[in-house]
Structure 1
Amino acid sequence: MHLFFLITGIVLFPQAYALICNKCRISVAPCVGTEEKCPAESTRCITMRTFTYMGMTKNFDRTEGSCAKPQHCNDASFNAGVERNFATTKCCDTDKCNTELPPLPDLKSKPNGKKCYRCDGKGDCTGTVNCDGDQTYCATGEGEEGPAKGCATKSMCVEPSPHVRTLQCCEGNYCNGSTSTSVSLMLLTTMTFSLFFFSN
């Protein structure tokens, strides 16, 4: 009889337990406040910080917290030339552990030899951007002002959820073509970073 209860407990306990994470959308501060019960596939708590830089000047910085799938616990970046978008993450796996701020992005990472096309905001996508660090893919997306092209990390090129369309990525130098695209893809701006990491 004791064996029956032991086996029942082992089988049912993982299904009954759900991780609880802090859920927040804030500027720059520790993530505390509202709690969120995670779905079964979200086994980690995440704090994500999104940044947009124009050159070396930061013009956007926001921290968010939520439940996350393990594959969402990766830093990511999309470099469109002058404008660069980053997401840094800090993940943990105990209840309400996601209170710490993720680090600042590495703005001084060195060129890795990869070259991609970039757009100038007026529909001309013949410019070149040198990829940095772990940006090993060329990417194409559709932004608010037309096509966007540049360098992306692998994490930006993997389908994050059924609700989010990713950039169209490829691996060769200049493989993202100099002509604009008619494919309706989401530019990975700060809002899309949020969808990328927090869609379950």
Structure 2
Amino acid sequence: MKLLVSLTLLSAVCAAVGALVCRHCTDPNDPECTLVENIICPWGKMCVTASVIVESTDHPVMRIFKDCVGRSVCSSPGERVISSNVGDKFSLANVNCCNTRKCNGEVLPFPDVSEHMLNRRFCPGCDSSESMCTDTVECRGNEATCFAATVLNAGVESTVYGCGSDDVCAASEKLDSLPFLEELGTVSATPTCTDAPEPQIRRCLQCDDPMDTTCAASTETDCEAGTDLCFTFTEEGGRIYRGCGPPSVCPSPGSFLLSADIGSSLGLANAECCRGDGCNTATLAAPTQGMTNGLMCHICIPGSTVCNFLVLCEGEENRCLTSASDVGGNSLPLLGCTTEAVCNAPDTLVSVLLPGTVLTEPVSCCSSMRCNDPDRVITTTLPPSTTTGMGGGSGGLGGIPPFLFPGVIDADLNAVVIQEMLFVVQQVLLYLQQLQLYLLQCPVDQQLLLQPLLLLCQQLLIYVQLLLQPQGVW
């Protein structure tokens, strides 16, 4: 008898010595897991730590989870992602499983929800307003599993449907709830999981006749893989476009203004992106450009690498644009003003605003004054002048001689005046370009009379710019 008791005590001591000790959040209502305690886990379990984001129609909640769990959640040591999604609410967790003493003390980075987008796989869902479950839930990210779980909430039993990661059912059974969605209720029966159907192809309206600027007739067509949104655009002149909206055209649903002014050309369009097959039925009003807003960006003389000229941005143009385009087989800089919406959806620049343009460099944007300087030298303040008289040295800004303007003895003021002159000359050049376009609508005899005069004026103004440019500071 004494031997039996001794063996029992020895076995208990050995089990205690060999048991796994894990960190455990003491307060389940504390999302930051401020207080932790050490607990002894049952045989065969592992320690787990998770950083969880729960998204709902109200607001996102971030929480930290630490505990010991069974093999259904942690089949082996290492990191994994667990998600569960019931449509109007989903959880996404970075999870790390480990099997050494107190190994779950670290705090993992939270998952990137922007990569957990709708993936066009659909699982059965349930509309609480109906007695029959005829709704669907669209899966997210890598979710490829449909689940059905019976839960008990406040004494009421119901079935919850949705999407999840591959281990969502096993995790639900052992966690007694859908992973990190405890507020939905306690899982009262073993959930069932099936493979989600293959992703559906998004269908969007496209104009039947590309030559019809009003898009009077349109038909639903299949979009390319990876496209989740549809778009409709209306240009300044009233032309309407409809089609599929990949992320480079429609990064998110909503309405926005597209605008790009590269000096020689201005593109302007109202845009709307929506989620849903054939949802792009809206007819948007033609936009109008706003007043100048104070931002100035560099532009280039068309067909050249001379880009030290400025344009005043207008309306919602709150970014300076930098890219390059193919001109006659050469890659030439493309600079100007644009809106934030174009920066977020760079393909709209060439597909809508500047059709026919072929970009040879990615679009980049910045938001400070003259920040798209091709020389990448940005001067925001003028340094003090060292010139005290007309006979002074080369001091001042950029070595501007004080005798450029005999009545002005301050070289810094000379620099400012030169910049203003360059801006005025540039604006006149742009006006002459618009006038040339207008002349194309005039009788031929008037064109023959006025075109040489316009070309002469342009050449003179360009010559003046080239004379002033080395003296200016950009």
TM-score range, shorter-chain basis?
0.5 to 0.7
| 2:281 is the alignment partner of 1:99 | yes
Q: Give the alignment partner of residue 134 of structure 1, picking from 281, 298, 316.
A: 316
Partners of 1:23 and 1:31 within 8 A in 2? no
CA distance in 2, matches of 1:125, 1:72: 35
Aligned partner of 1:124 among 306, 312, 324: 306
1:158 CA drift (Å): 2.8
1:91 CA displacement: 3.8
Shift of the 167–117 alpha-carbon distance from structure 1 to 2, 3 Å rule, reads same
Deviation readout 1:108-155 (Å, 9 max, x if unpaired): x01111111111113321211001122111112213433221111112
Measured in 2, the distance between the counterparts of 1:94 and 1:72 equals: 10
1:66 is aligned to: 243
Deviation for aligned residue 1:81:
2.1
Per-residue deviation at 1:83?
A: 1.4
- On the 8 A contact 1:117/1:128 being kept in 2, the answer is yes
CA distance in 2, matches of 1:115, 1:148: 15
Instruction: Measure the CA separation in 1 of the matches of 2:201 and 2:269.
Output: 26
Pair 1:171-2:354 in alignment: no
Shift in alpha-carbon separation, 1:91–1:178, aligned structure 2, 3 A: closer
Give 1:89's aligned amino acid: A
Q: Contact between 2:270 and 2:284, CA under 8 Å: does it hold in 1?
A: yes
Whether the 8 Å contact between 1:139 and 1:149 is mirrored in structure 2 is: yes
In structure 1, the gaps of 5 or more residues are: 52-57, 181-200
Asked if the contact 2:201/2:225 (under 8 Å) is kept, the reply is: yes
Q: Is 2:270 the partner of 1:88?
A: yes
Q: Which residue, 18, 21, 25 being the options, matches 2:204? A: 21
Structure number with greater CO (CA < 8 Å, separation at least 6) is: 1
Deviation track 1:59-114 (CA, whole Å, cap 9, x = no partner) reads: xx64321233452643211111241112321344454242343221212x011111
Distance 2:286 2:345 in 1: 25
Q: Is the 8 A contact 2:257 2:316 kept in 1?
A: no
Q: Secondary structure at the match of 2:341?
A: helix
Percent identity at matched positions? Answer: 25
Residue 15 of structure 1: how far off its partner (Å): 7.6
More strand by share: 1
Give 1:173 shift: 0.8
Aligned to 1:154: 340
Amino acid in structure 1 at the alignment position of 2:300: C
CA distance in 2, matches of 1:137, 1:106: 18
Residues 148 and 94 (structure 1 numbering): CA distance in 2 closer, same or farther, change over 3 Å?
closer
Q: Which has the larger helix fraction?
A: 2
Letter aligned with residue 63 of structure 1 = I
Change (3 A) 1:159 1:44: closer
Code of the aligned partner of 1:71:
S
TM-score of the two chains, using structure 2 as the length reference: 0.30
**Partners of 1:87 and 1:14 in 2: how far apart?**
38
Q: Is the 8 A contact 1:88 1:104 kept in 2?
A: yes
Cα distance in 1 for residues equivalent to 2:306 and 2:346: 29
1:36 corresponding residue in structure 2: 221
Name the residue aligned to 1:196: none
Distance 1:105 1:14, change over 3 A: farther
Q: 1:125 to 1:99 in 2, by over 3 A?
A: same
Do 2:320 and 2:366's aligned partners in 1 also have CA atoms closer than 8 Å? yes
Structure 2 distance, partners of 1:14, 1:98, is 26
Deviation at 1:37, TM superposition (A): 4.0
Q: 1:67 to 1:95 in 2, by over 3 A?
A: same
- SS of 2:313's equivalent in the other structure is strand
Cα distance in structure 1, aligned partners of 2:364 and 2:299: 14
Q: 1:32 to 1:83 in 2, by over 3 A?
A: same
Equivalent in the alignment of 1:188 = none
SS at match of 1:157: helix
